Structure 1
Amino acid sequence: MNLVLMSDPQVAAIPVRDCGEPLVDVREHDFRVDPRRQDLQGAFAHVREGVLARLQHARSLLPAGTDLLFIEGYRPLALQRRYFTAYRDQLAATQPDWTPEQLHQAASRYVSPPDIAPHSAGAAVDITLVDQDGHELDLGTHVNANPEESDGACFTHAPNLSDQARHRRTLLLNAMQDAGFTNYGTEFWHFSAGDRYDALMRQEPHARYGPIELG
């Protein structure tokens, strides 16, 4: 599987020219929002204004009886650092022979290095599908499953999926891509727009969104 990881130097090399769009709360726009990543400030439910518009478009492209379930958007930089360090340390405990570079690269399959993290730019969403009653659909593994626990089934195009899970992932992927998002291929639920990773994948000269603080 030939994937460009978040740790690839090409990603960090993309310059940022932040367009200044504010963070907006998706809970004020009639989205189904899951509380599993909820924080006291409600940061998790925020995305850039343009990302919200794309989400609304993606939602309109889904077939009747299927809807988006928003799980996490904006992630403060300090929290991103904690997530990345914790997962890297977890890998180090099970792979004591790996070099720091190997650990950094492997960790970036699941958590973006903080300095280029799409979530900390308000540019990324973790999202999945629900039925018309709001019940989360089975897309092959739970959202935020790491490669070790899921035996690689978290990868968007993993071979070890049921036909139904593959079909549902395709529905989600097509709707999000048609709305202008880029998927991170190690996480079927992660999509971003306007950040460095998205800019690299689209061969754009710069990113529109960089790290931002929730005002």
Structure 2
Amino acid sequence: MSDRRVAAIPVQERGEVLLDTGVHGLRVDDRKQDAAGAWAHVCRGVLRRLQQAQALLPGGVQLLFIEGYRPRPCSAGTSKSSPTSSRARPDWQAAELGEAASRFVSPPEIAPYSAGAAVDVTLIGHEGRELDMGTRVNASPEESEGACYTDAPNLSARGRTNRATLGGALSTAGLINCGTE
């Protein structure tokens, strides 16, 4: 994974029950919904941190939960279907493919999503509409001209402010932002 801080966190089975974020007070989007409903689940520690981050946001702003738990077969499928997969880039070497894909897809062998320990979230305003974050959720570096990176220089002032608001609440709550997303 290209963010070494995230890759350095060992994923260990702790027997933690995965909890449904929607049942526990978070607004959940269905764009990543799977048939089993797994996408809306996270481990207890992550849920607690998300609830804390929600409480830190300014009035009228809420987290919008996009995706959490991703079973290993789903993570492997996501990795293989990425725009930087060997199917999409047959001329690239394995190391190049791995580095490029890990900018926005966690490799299944270290994927914190498969432990319910990672999430995709964004912000919504009081009308329930997503706030401007500079790109769509899960935009690739290629389609966004690099604006998907947290500290991209080519963001609007509003996008930068909203990212800082989200990042500040998440980091204060004890979560780590993947800088390539």
| TM-score interval, smaller chain | over 0.9
Q: Which runs of 5+ in 2 are unaligned?
A: none
2:2: which partner in 1? 5
Contact 2:11 2:115 in 1 (8 A): no
> Paired residue for 1:50, among 45, 50, 55?
45
Offset, 1:90: 4.6
* In structure 2, distance between residues paired with 1:163 and 1:25: 34
1:151: which partner in 2? 145
**Secondary structure of the corresponding residue to residue 29 of structure 1:** coil
1:27: which partner in 2? 22
* In structure 2, distance between residues paired with 1:37 and 1:17: 25
Do residues 38 (structure 1) and 65 (structure 2) align?
no
Offset, 1:30: 2.2
* In structure 2, distance between residues paired with 1:168 and 1:91: 35
* In structure 2, distance between residues paired with 1:71 and 1:114: 19
* In structure 1, distance between residues paired with 2:86 and 2:35: 29
Distance 1:86 1:17, change over 3 A: closer
One-letter amino acid matched to 2:137: V
* TM-score normalised by the chain length of structure 1: 0.78
Contact 1:92 1:103 in 2 (8 A): no
Q: Which runs of 5+ in 1 are unaligned?
A: 188-215
> Paired residue for 2:176, among 175, 178, 182?
182
> Paired residue for 2:92, among 88, 98, 107?
98
* In structure 2, distance between residues paired with 1:179 and 1:15: 19
2:112: which partner in 1? 118
Offset, 1:74: 0.3
> Paired residue for 2:72, among 70, 77, 85?
77
Offset, 1:18: 3.2
Contact 2:11 2:110 in 1 (8 A): no
2:130: which partner in 1? 136
Distance 1:143 1:91, change over 3 A: farther
Distance 1:58 1:119, change over 3 A: same
One-letter amino acid matched to 1:117: A
1:161: which partner in 2? 155
Identify the structure with bigger relative contact order (alpha carbons < 8 Å, sequence gap 6+). Answer: 1
Paired-residue identity, %:
54
Contact 2:80 2:86 in 1 (8 A): no
RMSD: 1.9
Contact 2:85 2:97 in 1 (8 A): no
**Superposed structure 1 runs of 4+ greater than 6 Å apart:** none
One-letter amino acid matched to 2:44: E
* In structure 2, distance between residues paired with 1:118 and 1:180: 15
* TM-score normalised by the chain length of structure 2: 0.92
* In structure 2, distance between residues paired with 1:128 and 1:24: 19
